[in-house]
Amino acid sequence: MLSAIDAAAMIDISAVRTQHTLSDILELVEYAKKYRFVNVHVLPCWVSTLAEMIRDIDGVYVGSPVGFPSGGEKIITKVLTAQQLIEDGVQEMDIVMNIGKLKNGNYEYVNRELREIVGLADKQIIIKVIIEISVLTDEEILDACDIAIQSGADFVKTGTGWIFEPVNINRIRKIKEYCGSQIKVKAAGGIRTLDDFIALHEIGVERMGINLHSAIEIVENCQKEWIKSLCV
User: How far is it, in rounded angstroms, from Cα 45 to Cα 20?
Assistant: 11
What span, in angstroms and rounded, lies between the C-alpha atoms of 91 and 128? 11
Q: Please say whether the beta carbons of 91 and 62 come within 8 A.
A: yes
Query: Collapsing DSSP states into helix, strand and coil, what is residue 40?
Result: strand
- Give me the amino acid identity at 178: Y
For residues 151 and 39, what is the distance between their CA atoms, to the nearest angstrom? 22
Could you list the active site residues? 94, 157, 186
CA–CA separation, 188 vs 209, rounded Å?
5
Distance CA 71, CA 95 (A): 8
Q: Partners of 174 in the beta sheet? A: none
The per-residue DSSP string of 144-179 comes to HHHHHHHHT-SEEE---SSS-----HHHHHHHHHHH
